[in-house]
Structure formats: C-alpha cells, structure tokens
Amino acid sequence: MAVLKVENLTKVFGATRAIDNISFDVELGDIMVIVGGSGCGKTTTLRCIAGLEDPTDGVITVDGKVVAAPGRSVPPEQRGIGMVFQSYALWPHRTVFENVAYGLQRRNLSADAAREKVTGILKQVGLSGFEDRYPSTLSGGQQQRVALARSAVLQPRLLLLDEPLSNLDAKLREQMRDELREMIKMFGMTAVHITHDQAEAMALADTMICMRSGRIEQVGSPREIYRTPANFYVADFIGACSFLTGVAVETDDESSTFLIGDAMRLRVRTRAPVQPGSKSVMAIRPDGIQIGGAMEANAENQFTATTLRETFLGSHSEYLLDVGGHRLKADSSADLTVGQACRVRIDPAKIVLVPG
Ligand SMILES: Nc1ncnc2c1ncn2[C@@H]1O[C@H](COP(=O)(O)OP(=O)(O)OP(=O)(O)O)[C@@H](O)[C@H]1O
Ligand SMILES: [Mg+2]
C-alpha cells in the first residue's frame, strides 16, 4: 500500500522550475531517499509534501487522502506528517523531556499517559536518563535522536527528513545513518529522507530517487541504481565509475564486443540489441575490475595495466589504472605500488551501456 503518492508534481518560483512534473509512490514501511545535487529540488519536494509550500500543479495523497491538488491544500498539521530538519530545530530553553512532550500537548492525553509515552520513546532511542538535560548540553548525535523521538512520539503516518545528518562529523554521520535506519524500522514508520550524499542515500534507502534539475532521472533500489544506472548522470553521481566510449564490432543476442581506441577490445553483456557499428558509452564500477593473476592465453577482457595512483583505505585500496591508454578506477586489496604493472580482468556482466 502506498502511504505517499506524488503525481505530476510541479513547483515554479518566478522563472525557476524547481520541480518539473515528478511522480513517485512510497510504500508502507519503506524508506525512500531522494538524492541529487544542490538546487535540484529536494527540499522543495519535501516542503510540498509537508504542506509548507503549495504546488504549482500536481496531486499529493497521504494515506489515501488528497492533501494537495489544484485548488486544494490541507494544512500541515492535519496531514499526519512528522518532520526532522537539518538543524533539528529543538527548543533550546526546553529540556529533552519537554521537547519530546511538546507535540503531545494538543492530543488530550492525561499527564501520566503523556509521561509514559515520552519515557518509552526516549528509552527506544537510547536517551533514558537525559530527560532533564538541555539541547545545548547534548552531542550532535544525541540532539538528532531527540529530534527523531519528538517526531516519532506523535506516530506520524509519514516522516520527512531533510538532511538531518549533515551537521554531524563524518564518523558520527556514518554511525547515525545506520542508527537512523534501525530506528525508523523499529518505529515501523514510512519515511522520505533527502540528502546530497550518495553513500548516505545508498545506506539508508529501500528505494532511491535520483533527481536532477527538478526531474527524476531514475527510481530503484540502491543495488539497481548502482548496478544498472539509467544514464551517464546517474552512473557518475552515484558511486565511483569509469567511462569508455567504443564502437560495436561484433554483436549477438546476449553480448557485444566494442573496439575502444585502436587496440582495446571489450566484451559487454547486453540486455538490449546493439547495432553493429554504433557508438556507445560504457560505465564500469570499480568492483567490475579484478586485479591480479597471471595472463591467460586467449582470455577475453584481459589487459595489462599500470597503477597510476593508490588510495589506501584499510580494507582495500582504490586504484587509478592505465589500461591501454584509458584511465579506469578499480578496488582491490592487492597492495600494488604506483607504477607497478599488473593484469586486470573486466567482468562483461559488470559493464553497463549508458545513454549520454
Ligand atoms: N522560496 C523560493 N523562492 C525562489 N526560488 C526558490 C525558493 N525555494 C527554492 N527555490 C529554488 O528552487 C530550486 C530548488 O531548490 P531546493 O531548495 O529544493 O534545492 P535542494 O535540492 O534542496 O538543494 P540543496 O541540496 O542545496 O539543499 C533552486 O534553484 C532554488 O534556488
Ligand atoms: Mg535542500
């Protein structure tokens, strides 16, 4: 069941088309992550869903109820939506308990019932004992959990998060992103999370939307988007990628061989027929290239490479390789030194043809 339906949403500010006719659904219990570069329309999309902005066109449905349509707008507080912002927007002069309890005041609960709810939720987010502290005495991660608890205590049908991790330092951000996913799942909430950080998007999402200039470039699971990017922009934006351009010299139903430059022949597993003689751009992820082993006679997609750069990351290194005059990125724990020659194999199933 779709908790959120966005249909043909458009938002124009003066001469800026911030959102240009986008449609998507978010299923019950799913975390949808919208990712895209600065200014692509992420916050505007979220604000339209929340009711903080009226769409220029389109229909938004929450839980089967139309909350925005031409000539119709349900006020934000009646949409059953919770929001967590980048700044958390906690009240500095209220304690943790008061911050979390605030939204319950309008709900006609007895003081005991409210206290029980707040205490329960603080326990769930690991903040028991912090009830009387003020936000300024909490770490960034703790403040973020208070902000989440404040939304979760109201049991919204839909939770919207606008870059809630971007104020945290890198290490904490990684930890909080995993915790955030666990907490959203634990509360059984349906969420739309926006970020411009592609690693955060992949780690958090059940489904991802990749946006550019107010439009949706691709919708899919993190695996689908990483492994089968719909176009050059998505391949380049999500995860590391190398690109080669070649001309198809042999093709059959399942694969094609491309000539890249004068000498490099690359076989690619293809999903759709390729016209012989046609030019294509191929996207190769770093995990599609295996480094090491001895050269084999007549093996396809096997090349000699030279290491141009190594970035050691502990569990593995990221290499920039020269393969027949082309620069390719590969991940490996082979411990090569810069300038060292090695053998590489490129997996035909891990090369994707991408429309420009
Ligand atoms: N109130 C407004 N008035 C005029 N233009 C606006 C308004 N709000 C947003 N815009 C414009 O709409 C476009 C999309 O903005 P939006 O804030 O949705 O981007 P974003 O994807 O959230 O970017 P970021 O990652 O930088 O937060 C931008 O060009 C922005 O300048
Ligand atoms: Mg934004």
Indicate if 183 and 269 belong to the same structural domain: no
Q: Which atom of ligand 1 is nearest to the CA of 14?
A: 4
Q: Do residue 211 and residue 248 come from a single domain? A: no
User: How many domains is the chain built from?
Assistant: 2
Identify whether residues 129 and 194 lie together within a single domain: yes
- Asked whether residue 271 carries a pLDDT value surpassing 80, the answer given is yes
The whole domain housing 62 covers: 2-237
Same domain, 325 and 210: no
Atom index in ligand 1 nearest the CA of residue 42 equals 21
> Of 25, 86, 75, which is closest to residue 53 (Cα–Cα)?
75
Q: Based on the fold, state whether residues 228 and 289 are members of the same structural domain.
A: no
Give the Cα separation of 246 and 259 in Å (integer): 5
Element (H, E) at 92: none
**Ligand 1 centroid to 38 CA: how many Å?**
8
**What gap in Å lies between CA 274 and CA 351, rounded to an integer?**
14
Cα 309 to Cα 10, 84, 302, distances in angstroms: 45, 41, 20
Domain C-terminal end among 237, 264, 280: 237
* 296 and 345 belong to one structural domain: yes
What strand order describes the sheet that includes 279-284? 264-269, 255-260, 242-251, 279-284, 351-354
Tell how far the Cα of 41 is from the centroid of ligand 1, in angstroms: 6
**Residue 216 and residue 87 share a domain:** yes
Give the domain CATH number at 274. Answer: 2.40.50.140
Kindly state whether residues 253 and 233 are assigned to the same domain. no
Contact 282, 258 (CB under 8 A): yes
User: What token pair was written down for 226?
Assistant: 């990483």
Q: Whose CA is nearest to atom 20 of ligand 1?
A: 39
Say yes or no: 198 and 314 in one domain: no
* pLDDT surpassing 90 at residue 4: yes
| pTM reported for the whole predicted model | 0.90
- What is the C-alpha separation between 208 and 47, in angstroms, rounded? 18
Boundary (domain end) residue, out of 208, 237, 266: 237
Tell me what the pLDDT averaged over the chain comes to: 92
Is there a single domain that holds both residue 215 and residue 298? Answer: no
CA 16 to ligand 1 centroid distance, Å:
9
Domain co-membership, 255 together with 332: yes
Structure confidence by residue, pLDDT tens digits, 278-319: 999 999 999 999 999 888 888 899 999 999 999 999 999 999
Domain with residue 170: its CATH number is 3.40.50.300
Convert the pLDDT of each residue in 171-210 to its tens digit: 778 888 888 898 899 888 999 999 989 999 999 999 999 9
**Closest C-alpha residue for ligand 1 atom 2:** 13
Q: Judging by DSSP bridges, how do beta strands 242-251 and 279-284 pair with one another?
A: antiparallel
Which atom of ligand 1 is found nearest the CA of 47?
A: 18
pLDDT of residue 81: 93
